[in-house]
Amino acid sequence: MDWHTLPGFDEKYSRITIKEHKSLGCKTVEVLYGAQDENGNPIAPKEAGVDGCGRWYGIESNGEYTMFSWQHPACDGGQLEFGTDLKENALQGMEDDLKAKYDLVREAEEASKNADEDAQEVINSVKAKLAEMTDWKTAKEEEYKERLERALSRFENSISKILYNKEQKEKIVEEAKELSVSTSWKSVQQAFRDLRDDWKELGYAGKTNDDLWEQFRSFEKAFDENRKNYFAHLDEAHAAATEAKEKLIAEAKEAAANVKNWKAAGDKMNELMDQWKAAGRAGRETDDSLWEQFNSIRKEFFAQRKEFFNQRNAEIKDAVAKKNELIEKPKEYAASKNFSKEITEKMKELDVAWKAIGFAGKENNDRLWEEFKAAKNEFWDAKREDNNRRFREIIDRKNETIRNLKNEIEELQIREYETENFDTIRSYQRRAEEKKEMIESLQKDIEDLESRLKK
C-alpha cells in the first residue's frame, strides 16, 4: 500500500520521516497524520499515539511500497492493520530474511568454487531455500540475485567442463581395460602412450579424478606385467607353440589320409585351423616352416574335397536326368493302354533300374521318388481297371452261358415228360446233369473272378 493513498491524508499537517536503511538497501517510511486538538481541528502530530494521530509505517524500494503497520487515527476509528504476516515484527523479520539470503548466496558462491557433485547438491539446496523465502523487492535482494546468477554461471561453466572431462577419462579407462589383455605388445604399448597424452590434455574430472587415474594406471601396469612376463618366457612359449603346431600337422595328415565323410573331415580341418591360430607364435623361421607344412596339407585336402564334390554333383545331375527319364516310362505305358505281360514285365524292370541309378541328391531324391511312385501307380491303376473291365466282361459272358444252359435244362425236362421211352428219358437226364455240372463250374469261375475284383 502506498502511503500517498491514505484516506484523509493532508500533507499540511502530516509528518513524514524517510530514512535510508543501508543493510536492507531501501528506505523506511513513517507517516504521522490525522492529529486533532480538543476542538477537533487538525493539527501537526507530535509523535505516534499522541493527539489521536495515525501512523503508517513501511518501506520503499525502487519506487514500490510495502506496508508493515497502519494505525488509523482516532477520528477514523483508531484500528490497527498489518501489511505482512509478521505483523509488528515485520522489519526485524525482513532484516533476518535478508541476512539469511546473504548467507545462502555466500554458501552458493563458496560451493561454486568446487565444481563437483557435492557442490551441485549445495547449490540446488540454496536455490530451493531461496525460492521458499519472501521476496521483499529490495535493492539488496536484487544484488544477491545478481551475485547468485554469477556464481551459478561460473559453476555451470566449470561443472560442464568437469563432467566432459570425467566422461572422456571414463572412456580412456574403458579403452585401457580392453588394451590390458592384448598381446599386440608393440602397438598396444604405443596406444597406452597416446592415451596418457590424451589424459594430460584433459583437465580436472571432479572428485572421481584420482580414482579414474588409479584405474587407468592399474590397467597399464597389468599390460606391462603381461608384456614383461611374456618376453621373460618367450623361449618357453615358442617351444610350446612349436610342439602344439607339430601335433596339429600330424592330426591334419591323419584327417586327410582317412576321409570317410568329406563334410566331417572339412569340419575337422577348420577346427584344426582355429587351434593353429590359438597356438601362438613359434618364432619367425619356425613359424614359416610349420605353416608351409600345415597349409600344404590343407590345400591338398580341400582340392581333393572339391574334386569329390564336383564328381558327386555330376553323378547326382546324371542320376536326376536318368530318373526323370524313368518317370516318363510308366506314363507312356499307361497312355498306350497296353497292359500285356511283356509291358508288365517292363514295369517290374523299372524298379530294378531305379535302384541301379543310385542317389540323386538330398534336394531331389525324395521328390523324384514320389513322382516315380505316382507314375507307377497311374499305370497299375489303369492296368487294374483294365483287368476289372475284362473280368466283368467274362463274368457277363459266363452268366449269359449259365442262363442259356438253364434254358436248355428246362427244355430237356419238358421233353422228358413228353416221352415214355426209357432210353430217351435217360438220355435227357444225362444231358441235363452234364449241363448242371457246367453251370456249377461256371459259377465257381464267376465267384473266383468276383473275389479278384474285390481285391
Q: What is the DSSP string of 127-173?
A: HHHHHHS-----HHHHHHHHHHHHHHHHHHHHHHHHHHHHHHHHHHH
Reading phi first (left if > 0) and then psi (alpha if -120 to 50, else beta), residue 49 is in left
Total domains in the chain come to 4
Structural domain ending residue among the three candidates 68, 83, 98: 83
Q: Answer whether residue 373 is part of any domain.
A: no
Residues 95 and 228 occupy one common structural domain: yes
221: its cell numbers: 601396469
Q: Answer whether residue 330 is part of any domain.
A: no
For position 11, what pLDDT does the model report? 63
Q: pLDDT tens for residues 17-37?
A: 889 888 778 888 998 988 888
Q: Answer whether residue 331 is part of any domain.
A: no
Q: pLDDT tens for residues 346-403?
A: 888 888 888 888 877 777 888 888 888 888 888 888 888 887 788 788 888 988 998 9
Average pLDDT, the chain: 84
Residues 93 and 212 occupy one common structural domain: yes
Residues 171 and 278 occupy one common structural domain: no
For position 176, what pLDDT does the model report? 93
Residues 171 and 212 occupy one common structural domain: yes
Residues 74 and 29 occupy one common structural domain: yes
Residues 115 and 206 occupy one common structural domain: yes
Q: pLDDT tens for residues 184-193?
A: 888 999 999 9
Q: Answer whether residue 428 is part of any domain.
A: yes
User: What are the two backbone dihedrals, phi and then psi, of residue 153, each rounded to the nearest 5 degrees?
Assistant: -65, -45
pLDDT band at 430 (very low <50, low <70, confident <90, very high): very high
Structural domain ending residue among the three candidates 32, 59, 83: 83
Q: Answer whether residue 357 is part of any domain.
A: no
Structural domain ending residue among the three candidates 83, 110, 133: 83
Residues 181 and 276 occupy one common structural domain: no
Q: Answer whether residue 372 is part of any domain.
A: no
Q: 326, 376 in Cβ contact below 8 A?
A: no
Helix count and strand count (H, E) for the chain: 11, 5
Residues 226 and 93 occupy one common structural domain: yes
For position 134, what pLDDT does the model report? 84
| 7-16, 45-54, 85-94, range with the lowest pLDDT | 7-16
Q: Answer whether residue 413 is part of any domain.
A: yes
- Coil vs helix vs strand at 11: coil
Residues 176 and 271 occupy one common structural domain: no
Residues 284 and 171 occupy one common structural domain: no
Residue 442 clears pLDDT 70, i.e. is over it = yes
Domain range for 177:
88-232
Q: Answer whether residue 346 is part of any domain.
A: no
Residues 198 and 240 occupy one common structural domain: no
For position 197, what pLDDT does the model report? 92
Residues 109 and 46 occupy one common structural domain: no
